[in-house]
Amino acid sequence: MKKMFKRVVTVALAVMVLALAMAGCGGTTTDTNTPPAGNNAAPAGKVIRMTTAFGDTFDPASSMDSASCEVIVNLYDSLVYPDLDGTILNGVAADYTISEDGLVYTFTLKDGVKFHDGSDMTAQDVAFSYKRMMTIGQGYTYLFQGHIESVEAADDKTVVITLTETFAPILNILCRLYIVNEDVVMANTADGDYGEFGDYGTAYLTTNDAGSGAYYCEKYTINDRIVMKKFDQYHGTFHENAPETVEIINGTEAATVRTMMANNELEISDQWQTYEAYKALGELEGVETVTYGAGQMVYLMMNTRVAPMDDVHVRKAIAYLIDYEQVYTTLFPGYLPTNNYVGARLAGSDVSTEKIGYNMDKALEEIKASKYADALLNGEMAINVAWVSEVPDEEKLALLIQASASQIGLKVEVNKVAWATQVQNTASMETTPHCNVCYVSPDYGEAGSLIYQRLSMDTTGTWQQTEWLESEELNAKISKALATLDTEERYALYDEIQCEALDNVYGIPVTEQGEVRAYADHVVIPAVERGEASTTLGYNFLFKDFQVLDK
Restricting to residues 481-500, name those near other proteins by CB under 8 A: none
Residues 450, 342: contact at Cβ < 8 Å? yes
| DSSP-assigned letter for residue 356 | P
Return the range that interacts with other proteins (CB under 8 A); candidates 73-81, 229-237, 307-315, 423-431: 423-431
Q: Is 119 in the site for other proteins (CB under 8 A)?
A: no
Residues 437 and 298 sit within 8 Å (Cβ to Cβ): yes
Helix (H, G, I), strand (E, B), or coil: what is residue 479? helix
Give the residue from 439, 435, 438, 482 showing the smallest Cα distance to 458.
482
* 413 three-state secondary structure: strand
Contact stretch for other proteins (CB under 8 A) within 40-48, 171-179, 474-482, 527-535: 40-48
Q: Which residue in 85, 117, 156, 253 binds other proteins (CB under 8 A)?
A: 253
| 480: exposed, middle or buried (Cβ count in 10 Å: 0-12, 13-18, 19+) | middle
Interaction of residue 186 with other proteins, rule CB under 8 A: no
For strand 411-417 and strand 382-388, is the pairing parallel, antiparallel, or unpaired? parallel
Does residue 429 belong to the site contacting other proteins (CB under 8 A)? no
CB-nearer residue toward other proteins: 222 or 403: 222
Query: Binder to other proteins among 216, 292, 444, 463 (CB under 8 A)?
Result: 463
For other proteins, which is the closer residue by CB, 45 or 118? 45
Other Cβ atoms closer than 10 A to 382:
15
> Contact between 19 and other proteins (CB under 8 A)?
yes
145 touches other proteins (CB under 8 A): yes
Q: Which stretch binds other proteins (CB under 8 A): 196-204, 232-240, 508-516, 529-537?
A: 196-204
Taking CB under 8 A as the binding criterion, the range among 50-58, 83-91, 270-278, 530-538 that sits at the site for other proteins is 50-58
Task: Name which position in 323, 431, 480, 510 contacts other proteins (CB under 8 A).
Answer: 431
508-520, strands of its sheet edge to edge: 411-417, 382-388, 435-440, 287-302, 508-520
Which of the stretches 262-270, 320-328, 351-359, 515-523 binds other proteins when contact is defined by CB under 8 A? 262-270
Binding status of residue 10 toward other proteins by CB under 8 A: no
> How crowded is residue 278: how many other Cβ atoms within 10 Å of its Cβ?
23
d(CA 245, CA 397): 38
Binding of other proteins by 209 (CB under 8 A): no
Stretch that binds other proteins, among 56-64, 90-98, 236-244, 528-536 (CB under 8 A): 56-64
State in angstroms the smallest separation of the CB of 206 from other proteins.
5
What's the min distance (Å) between Cβ of 429 and other proteins?
14
Please report how close the Cβ of residue 249 comes to other proteins at its closest, in angstroms.
7
Residues β-bridged to residue 302? 435
Among 98, 103, 153, 262, binds other proteins (CB under 8 A): 262
Which of residues 11, 14, 17, 22 is near other proteins by CB under 8 A? Answer: 22
Which residues pair with residue 49 across a beta bridge? Answer: 247
Report the DSSP pairing between strands 80-82 and 47-52: unpaired
Q: For residues 253 and 489, which CB has a smaller minimum distance to other proteins in the complex?
A: 253
Bridge pairing between strands 382-388 and 80-82:
unpaired
Per CB under 8 A, does 9 bind other proteins? Answer: yes
Residues 400-419 that bind other proteins (CB under 8 A): 418-419
**CA 238 from centre of chain:** 24
Nearest one of 34, 52, 54, 56 to 43, comparing CA atoms:
34
* CB proximity list for 451: less than 8 A, separation 6 or greater: 341, 342, 478, 481, 494, 497, 498, 501
**CA dihedral in degrees (475, 476, 482, 485; nearest 10)?**
-170
Residue 57 or 484 having the CB closest to other proteins: 57
Told to check if 189 binds other proteins by CB under 8 A, we report no
Whichever of 166 and 256 has its CB closer to other proteins, that residue is 256
Report which of 542, 438, 516 is spatially closest to residue 272, judged by C-alpha positions. 516
3-state secondary structure of 477: helix
Q: Which of helix, strand or coil describes residue 376?
A: helix
- Name the minimum Å distance from CB 58 to other proteins: 10
DSSP 540: G
For CA atoms 184, 187, 188, 192, the dihedral sign is positive
Contacts of 111 (CB under 8 A, 6+ apart): 94, 157
* Shortest distance, position 457 Cβ to other proteins, whole Å: 14
Can you tell me which of 423, 476, 485, 549 binds other proteins, judged by CB under 8 A? 423
d(CA 376, CA 370): 9
Q: Is 255 in the site for other proteins (CB under 8 A)?
A: yes
Nearer to other proteins, 16 or 476 (CB): 16
Interface with other proteins, residue 462, by CB under 8 A: yes
Residue range at the interface with other proteins (CB under 8 A); choices 30-38, 359-367, 485-493, 498-506: 30-38
Number of chain positions touching other proteins (CB under 8 A): 77
Selection from 65, 18, 3, 57 nearest residue 443 by Cα = 65
Which residue from 183, 390, 470, 503 is in contact with other proteins, where contact means CB under 8 A?
390
Q: Which of 11, 14, 17, 23 binds other proteins (CB under 8 A)?
A: 23
Q: How far is the CB of 203 from other proteins (least distance, A)?
A: 4
Categorise residue 394: left if φ over 0, alpha if ψ from -120 to 50, beta otherwise.
Answer: alpha
Which one of the spans 14-22, 162-170, 340-348, 372-380 is the region binding other proteins (CB under 8 A)? 14-22
Nearest to 308 by CA among 360, 402, 382: 382
| Interface with other proteins, residue 259, by CB under 8 A | yes
222 binds other proteins (CB under 8 A): yes
Instruction: Please select the residue that binds other proteins; options are 60, 82, 86, 139, rule is CB under 8 A.
Output: 139
Which one of the spans 67-75, 251-259, 406-414, 522-530 is the region binding other proteins (CB under 8 A)? 251-259
Q: For the sheet containing 215-221, what is the strand order?
A: 47-52, 245-250, 225-230, 215-221
Q: Are 460 and 357 in contact (CB under 8 A)?
A: no
**Which of 10, 138, 329, 330 contacts other proteins by CB under 8 A?**
138
By CB under 8 A, tell whether 286 contacts other proteins. Answer: no
